Amino acid sequence: MSLPDDGLVVVVKQDCPTCRLVAPVLDVLDAAVYSQDDPAFPPGIDVRDDTDLDVSVALGIDVVPTLLRRESGRETVRTEGWDRERWRELAGVADLGAELPEWKPGCGSRTHDPAVADEMLVRARGHELTARRVELAGLEDEAEALHDRGWTDGLPVVAPTPPRVLRMLAGTTRAPDEVVAVVPPNLVPATVEKVAINAVLAGCRPEYLPVVLAAVEAACDTDFNAHGLLATTWGAAPAVLVHGPIARRIGVNTGGNVLGQGTRANSTIGRALQLVIRNVGGGRPGEVDRATLGQPGKVGLCFAEDEDGSAWEPLSVSRGVPAGVSAVTVFAAEGARGIVDQLSRTPESLARTLAGALRGVAHPKLAGGFDATLVLSPEHLAVFVDAGWDRARFTAALDDLLLLAPEELARGADGIAEGMPATRPRPKFRPGGLLVAVAGGGAGKFSAVLGGWVGGPGGSTPVTRVIEEA
């Protein structure tokens, strides 16, 4: 690539009507003319071949024709498209283009042609990718080939081609070869590149990658115990709760149908985490993953707390994250179970309803073992806020209501063999074992319980990680 240190530079392409329009004036200019698609265009003048687009990339050409001036190796001014007055000013030719219209917009640079842009991206940054390349035969169906190689969760995935992985990596400033975490159960190091590959497979956008990276870090923390969660025959799986301004910026749903389908960020971030565990760590159903029943959230579950619509301190702040900082909390979750209470108008009554539903996590006669997450809807939240209850008072009230009497827990009581020996009241959840997040649509007095798994030592503890943003 050779660029003049001083003087005018023009970049054109034969395929552009505006470039063909200005072709007659180019031989008047004392300029270096580069053509993106035809070294013989414009005819009759000395044209420099830029069909490899190295010059256009170096100059950051977005529109052709572009006329710019360079001084001492640096660009000082440019104009895009045809603007007669601007061209005359830059060229210093008073009657330049007198026979041409006063103005005509240019065309998109060939560097922005999707096929060419991918080629340029791989040429410029392909050396950053070190993962093994898998070539598919010409007649192989892409989706079927990826499924047959065991890289999917049963649903179709997006092929992680080099351009797609490189575009995904643009979502973070972290180096592709940086090790994010050691992924159980096989304890395989996962680099940023490996996580990006699985984010592509899951259907993520590049701006989701920082969230996925933080989720992988959290899920691979020894306190979370992803290996144990995989190997248990219980049906819980890692779920991702997003906190802070990044949720709004990348479009993580906090409102209606928050635990359901329809939002790309929610659907793909949790899925990306599960694919990392599957494809990097080796956590596959029927192998290490021994769930008796499983549940739909094992494909992936991600949502965000409605911090803007909540009068309460965000859950992340209660977990030590500074206000306004983006983070994720990864926790063990079963499928959601709804709670109906459309009649309670006092916080005391509604708290009893919620506590009654929470008592059923795992089994009504088991205490201190399984964790849970309560997703509190806006209409239910309003009952507590209107009465002056903050998060601390609400959780304290639940703690009192979830203290189970020995006679309720006893094996054989109520004709149920299940239970546990107890000589004193036992809390339903261990300290820190119940998370409360505010989310959901503005209409409907319905909340939800996401039962968890065994909490604490030997089980799984929710882990919160701050998101490294670009």
- Mind listing the pLDDT tens digit for each residue in 306-321? 999 999 999 999 999 9
Q: What does the H/E/C string look like for 227-289?
A: HHHHHCCCCCEEEEEEECHHHHHHCCCCCCCCCCCCCHHHHHHHHHHHHHHHHCCCCCECCCE
- pLDDT, one tens digit per residue, over 29-64 is 999 999 999 999 999 999 999 999 999 999 999 999
Model confidence at 235: pLDDT above 80 = yes
Burial of 205 (0-12, 13-18, 19+ CB in 10 A): middle
Task: Look at residue 133 and tell me if it is in a domain.
Answer: no
Task: Look at residue 203 and tell me if it is in a domain.
Answer: yes
Task: Look at residue 119 and tell me if it is in a domain.
Answer: no
Q: In the listed set 112, 130, 160, which residue is the last one of a domain according to the structure? A: 112
One domain, residues 156 and 107? no
One domain, residues 325 and 451? yes
Model confidence at 417: pLDDT above 70 = yes
Q: In the listed set 93, 112, 131, which residue is the last one of a domain according to the structure? A: 112
Tell me which residue range forms the domain holding 265: 144-466
* Per-residue pLDDT at 123: 86
Model confidence at 95: pLDDT above 70 = yes
Give the percent of the chain with pLDDT over 70: 100
One domain, residues 181 and 39? no
CA distances from 418 to 58, 275, 368, 412 (A): 71, 36, 15, 7
**What value does the mean pLDDT take over residues 268-295?**
96
Give the CA diameter of the chain: 101
* Per-residue pLDDT at 236: 97
* Per-residue pLDDT at 119: 87
Sign of CA dihedral 322, 324, 325, 330: positive
| CATH classification at residue 15 | 3.40.30.10
- pLDDT, one tens digit per residue, over 373-407 is 999 999 999 999 999 999 999 999 999 999 999 99
One domain, residues 73 and 209? no
With b for 16 or more beta-carbon neighbours within 10 A and e for fewer, the 136-150 pattern comes to eeeeeeeeeebbeee
One domain, residues 85 and 193? no
Task: Look at residue 298 and tell me if it is in a domain.
Answer: yes
One domain, residues 285 and 221? yes
**What value does the mean pLDDT take over residues 140-144?**
93
Nearest to 331 by CA among 181, 140, 464: 464
Look-up of token digits 């797609």: 164
Q: pLDDT category, 1, cuts 50, 70, 90?
A: low
Task: Look at residue 36 and tell me if it is in a domain.
Answer: yes
One domain, residues 108 and 148? no
Look-up of token digits 């020894």: 222
- pLDDT, one tens digit per residue, over 156-185 is 999 999 999 999 999 999 999 999 999 999
Look-up of token digits 């006329």: 67
One domain, residues 91 and 158? no
HSE-CB of 258 using CA atoms within 13 angstroms? 30
* Per-residue pLDDT at 407: 94
One domain, residues 280 and 394? yes
One domain, residues 183 and 325? yes
Domain count, the chain: 2
Task: Look at residue 127 and tell me if it is in a domain.
Answer: no
Task: Look at residue 136 and tell me if it is in a domain.
Answer: no
**What value does the mean pLDDT take over residues 454-459?**
92
Task: Look at residue 158 and tell me if it is in a domain.
Answer: yes
What is the reported pTM?
A: 0.88
* Per-residue pLDDT at 422: 84
Give the percent of the chain with pLDDT over 90: 94
One domain, residues 107 and 173? no
One domain, residues 33 and 164? no
Q: In the listed set 56, 91, 112, which residue is the last one of a domain according to the structure? A: 112
